[in-house]
Each structure stands twice: as structure tokens, then as C-alpha cells.
Structure 1
Amino acid sequence: MKVHIIGLGLIGGSFALGLKKAFPEVEISGSDASEEHLLKAQELKLIDCAATLEEAKDADVVIIAVPVDVAKKVALQVLDVVGNNTLIFDAGSTKAGLCEAIAAHPNRRNFLAAHPIAGTEFSGPEAAVETLFLQKTNIICEVEKTAFKLQERALEIFQKLGMRIRYMDPASHDRHIAYVSHLSHISSFMLGKTVLQKEQNEKDIFDLAGSGFASTVRLAKSSPAMWTPIFQQNKNNILETLEEYINNLSEFRELLKNDNFQEVFREMERTNHIKTILNGIN
């Protein structure tokens, strides 16, 4: 199997490592807008060689792992040149805009819109993890628009990498992801900002921060270059979730101001139900 990966950061690099483990005979070429990333990916043996899209147009699989603001343009470029038997899939965190952009392309049947819900706060080829996708959910959108034989190829790859599959329409995907992923990143960034503003002594932050703070603010170490386009692409859904989040914070503040700690307790007790929902997630 010949695979070409566009974007050799955390996600693209992790696909490369996972595929090498799951398919020992795989040949992986890669490309990246950053020459530094491309060289590092070769040095780390994430890919076997660098290749242009023109050189990789006859690959069995093309994986698009670039920021969502350029994914639409890249997807159209790939669809323009690939052959009938090439599977293309992406791994972006927003789906509605991408699916709309490629809807009328004559090679739409080659494309599978996917979103593996996996990642870390780190970026670049060095961040790649062989088992990143193991036991993670992969959301697939508009599967019916992908050629059946290419669906089968994609599902074989996803299953060999240990992913759970969930099917969803693009609009529902973007709405749900705004709550369970995008909002948590905004919360983390803003918590980090608040602490940096109020705790001017960095040594105090380092010495006093416990595991709770570290885990809550972990996502604030994520790449702004990746997350700013995500917030832009999913702006309307994120604004809706932010309104609800801000309202909940305001209500909690009022409970504290009014010394209503009995209701504070009840609020937290009700929210403890999240433990049941999240039980078993890695």
C-alpha cells in the first residue's frame, strides 16, 4: 500500500507511525508546507521519502492532516489530480465547510470526511505517537458519498489503528464538537491567561500549581496556528456554547456572592454525573 501524507505534525506523523506498525509493507511519502517539518519527519523515519502531490497522485491513500483553514484548498487540489482508485481522507476538527467545498467536485467519491478525536497538547513531527488513535473515536461524515470500495479501504485502516467508528452529518459534528472539544480548549487558554495576568511571579505559578491546575490548563499549550482556524471555521457553534458557558459561570458567581453554598454543593453534585458518562474514556 502506498500512502502520501500531507501535513507531518502530530496527526500526520502519528498516522505514519501507526500505519507502519499496522501495515509493515506500507510505503509512506509525505509533504509539508514547512521544510523543517519535512526534514524532521524524514530524520525520524515517519516517512520513507518526500514527494510532491504530483508525484504521489497514484497513491492508494492520501491523508490530509493540515490546519482546517487550508484543508479545503488542499482537498480540492488533491481531488483534481488523483486517480479513480485513490482514497483521500482528512482528519480535521470541522467538517461542514469542507464537505460543502468539495460537494460538487467530479471526484467527490474519492473523499472520506473523517475526524479522529485524538491528540495531545504538543505539535510538530516530534510529537507523533504510534498509538495515538488506539481506542479513540473517529467520526465519519457523509460516508454515502464515498465510493464503497474506498470506504472499505478506509475502514480497514481505521480498524487496524484501533479506532471506534461513529457516523454523523457534518452540521451535527460541528455542533457537538464545539461543546466537547472546542469549548474546553477556549476554557484552558483563558484560564492560562487569567493566571498569567494575576500571578506575575512565574516561580509562584510553578511552585504552587497542583495536578488539578496542570491538567485543566494543559490544552493551553496547544498550537495557536492550529486552533485559531478551528475557532474561525466553527465560529457560530462556538459562540452558542460560549454563551451557555458564560451564563453558567455567572450563575455560579451569584451563588458565591449570595453565600448560597447549599446550592453550590447541589450544582457540583449534579455535575458529578459527568463521571458516569466519561467512565472508561482513555
Structure 2
Amino acid sequence: MKKLVVIGLGLIGGSLALDLKKRGNYKVYGVDQNPNHIKKALKLGVIDEEISFSEIVDAAVIIIAVPVNIIPNLTTQVLDIISENTLVFDVGSVKNEICKAVENHKKRKNFVAAHPLAGTEFSGPEAAILNLFEHKVNIICEADKTDWKILDEAISLFKQLNMRIKMMQPVEHDRHIAYVSHLSHISSFMLGKTVLQIEKNEQAIFDMASTGFASTVRLAKSNADTWAPIFLENKDNIITSLNEYIKNLNEFKDLIENTDDSGLRESMKNTNYIKSILNGIKEND
């Protein structure tokens, strides 16, 4: 069996561990600074054994699934000690700083900068689930800088998970992900905050929360320790997207204040075009 090490036993790292144990010929070892995460991961069968950082040297595959602000330095440390044939990949949702951190490392060829577009609003080893990555997109950045044999191994691993592979440059990735993913989380957090500030009757929130509100605010349940570093690491792109979002909110508020019925309808009808894009995504899944 191949030795697979997962560093960071949260939702993504834990789900990868579960799925790869089931689908591949791997014995899965876990590394986590939180001893409770190790205990839970062992109890739940997410990992087979705990391992120390110094014991990862002979691993076949190492997955780095820690907060994005830690990934650059940790990836460098991992590359410093691995064997010549070890595949190392991260799962961070911000790629540019990670790629810059390892660009001149002598074992850059062993590294795959990956971002599986999958997740839930839950966190920790107990959030790990099977089939989380089924038919999801996995973005690989700077594939040309990875040794072709190691890249081929990574792609084979992702295909074991039934993921669809997309290639992208890190700057492009971070810009697009700020608009499509990171802004969605900010919007959800701030919607939740606004409702909590305005509506002090918690029972009223519970009773009146329709499926629309529940689905829109779902991401506000996400872990702050995961998302604060993401927002800060992708700060420039997020500020650009927030400025545009705030402008649109203000324009929408003006339409309501001015009782502009036709303007409201036009704004919403134009935005309905998003349905055709999302329906296309469903058809391709």
C-alpha cells in the first residue's frame, strides 16, 4: 500500500482521506496541530494512524490542507524533506502566493498547486464525508512546472475521485475565485450579520426563515478560522469585487427609494441571465 499523508484534518483534508482510502491503495496517515482533530480522525476512521512531521519523508503522496496563510511556508518545509518521487499537492483556494513561495525551490517539480472546488459549511474531522469531490472541478495551476510523471500521478488520483480537471494560471485563478466563491461567502456572512442586528427575536428568524433565506445564509455557518485568511490572502481581488457589489447594492437601493418599478424589473430580468450559465454547469456535470 502507498503511504499517503494528510496535513490538516478538516473538511477537505478529511474528506480526501476518506475517499482515497476507499478508492485507492493507500494507507492514510494524519498530521494536525490540534490533538483533538487527531483523536476524532482516528475514532471516525478518517485516518489509519497519526504520524509526526519528521516521518513524512518516505510518503508517496502528501496533501496539504491547512489554512491558506500557512500553506506557502509549510509547503516549502515539506519540499525540503521529501524524497525525489513524492507527490505533494495543496488544496488552498488562493494560489498565487503559494506558487510564488515555491517557484525557486529545488523540488518545485514535486508540487501540484490544486484547488478542488468542493466543500460544505461545516468544519473539522467530523465534517469529512465520502463522495464530496464527485464530479466537482479541480483547478491545477502552473502544471508546466511540475514533473510530468508526478503531474500524471496527481491527475490519476483526482480521476479516482471522479473530478474534472481545469488548468489555470494562479493570478487568473485568484481573480475568478474572488468573484464567484469568495464574494458569495462575504455576502452570506454579511446577510446573516444584518438579520441578526435588525431582528432581535431569534424565534421570529427561525419561524420565518424560508428555504431562500436558509440557502442564501448557509455559508455564514462557515469557519471563521478558515475564511479570514482566505479573504486576506486574496485581498486585492476581493476588494475589487466588493466595490462592484456595493455599487450594485446602492444602485438597487436607489431604484427602490425612487419607486422605479421599471428599473427594478429591468435590473432583475437582466440578472436572470445567470440561470442560463448555471443550467449549463448542471448539464455538464
Q: TM-score, normalised by structure 2?
A: 0.97
Name the Cα RMSD after superposition: 0.9
The aligned amino acid for 1:189 is: F
Instruction: Supply the distance in 2 between the matched residues of 1:57 and 1:124 (Cα, whole angstroms).
Output: 26
The aligned amino acid for 2:205 is: I
Return the offset for 1:53. Answer: 2.2
Give runs of aligned pairs for residues 202-281 of structure 1, distance below 5 A: 202-279=202-279, 280-281=281-282
Return the offset for 1:65. Answer: 0.3
The aligned amino acid for 2:8 is: G
Give runs of aligned pairs for residues 36-115 of structure 1, distance below 5 A: 36-115=36-115
Instruction: Supply the distance in 2 between the matched residues of 1:270 and 1:203 (Cα, whole angstroms).
Output: 36
| 2:26 alignment partner in structure 1 | 26
Instruction: Supply the distance in 2 between the matched residues of 1:275 and 1:136 (Cα, whole angstroms).
Output: 19
Return the offset for 1:78. Answer: 0.3
The aligned amino acid for 1:21 is: K
| 1:35 alignment partner in structure 2 | 35
Give runs of aligned pairs for residues 174-193 of structure 1, distance below 5 A: 174-193=174-193
Q: What's the % identity of the aligned pairs?
A: 55
Return the offset for 1:45. Answer: 0.8
| Alpha-carbon displacement from aligned partner over 1:236-262 (angstroms, at most 9, x marks no partner) | 000000000000111111111111111
Return the offset for 1:230. Answer: 0.3
Instruction: Supply the distance in 2 between the matched residues of 1:113 and 1:215 (Cα, whole angstroms).
Output: 31
Return the offset for 1:211. Answer: 0.4
| 1:126 alignment partner in structure 2 | 126
| 1:9 alignment partner in structure 2 | 10
Instruction: Supply the distance in 2 between the matched residues of 1:158 and 1:208 (Cα, whole angstroms).
Output: 42
| 1:139 alignment partner in structure 2 | 139
Return the offset for 1:51. Answer: 0.4
Instruction: Supply the distance in 1 between the matched residues of 2:155 and 2:10 (Cα, whole angstroms).
Output: 23
Q: Which runs of 5+ in 2 are unaligned?
A: none
Return the offset for 1:145. Answer: 0.5
The aligned amino acid for 1:15 is: L
Instruction: Supply the distance in 2 between the matched residues of 1:44 and 1:149 (Cα, whole angstroms).
Output: 33
Return the offset for 1:116. Answer: 0.4
What is the SS of the residue equivalent to 2:72? helix
Q: Which runs of 5+ in 1 are unaligned?
A: none
The aligned amino acid for 1:28 is: V
Instruction: Supply the distance in 2 between the matched residues of 1:198 and 1:259 (Cα, whole angstroms).
Output: 23
Instruction: Supply the distance in 1 between the matched residues of 2:148 and 2:53 (Cα, whole angstroms).
Output: 24
The aligned amino acid for 1:176 is: H
Instruction: Supply the distance in 1 between the matched residues of 2:169 and 2:269 (Cα, whole angstroms).
Output: 34
What is the SS of the residue equivalent to 2:92? coil
How many aligned positions are there? Answer: 281
Instruction: Supply the distance in 1 between the matched residues of 2:53 and 2:276 (Cα, whole angstroms).
Output: 46
Instruction: Supply the distance in 2 between the matched residues of 1:238 and 1:261 (Cα, whole angstroms).
Output: 31
Instruction: Supply the distance in 2 between the matched residues of 1:196 and 1:83 (Cα, whole angstroms).
Output: 52
Instruction: Supply the distance in 1 between the matched residues of 2:46 and 2:22 (Cα, whole angstroms).
Output: 11
Return the offset for 1:21. Answer: 1.8
What is the SS of the residue equivalent to 1:20? helix
Instruction: Supply the distance in 2 between the matched residues of 1:189 and 1:112 (Cα, whole angstroms).
Output: 31
| Alpha-carbon displacement from aligned partner over 1:1-55 (angstroms, at most 9, x marks no partner) | 21000000100000011101211x3111011011000110011111110001221
The aligned amino acid for 1:19 is: L
Instruction: Supply the distance in 2 between the matched residues of 1:37 and 1:198 (Cα, whole angstroms).
Output: 36
| Alpha-carbon displacement from aligned partner over 1:110-132 (angstroms, at most 9, x marks no partner) | 10000001000000001011111
Instruction: Supply the distance in 1 between the matched residues of 2:190 and 2:259 (Cα, whole angstroms).
Output: 26
Q: TM-score, normalised by structure 1?
A: 0.98
The aligned amino acid for 2:264 is: V
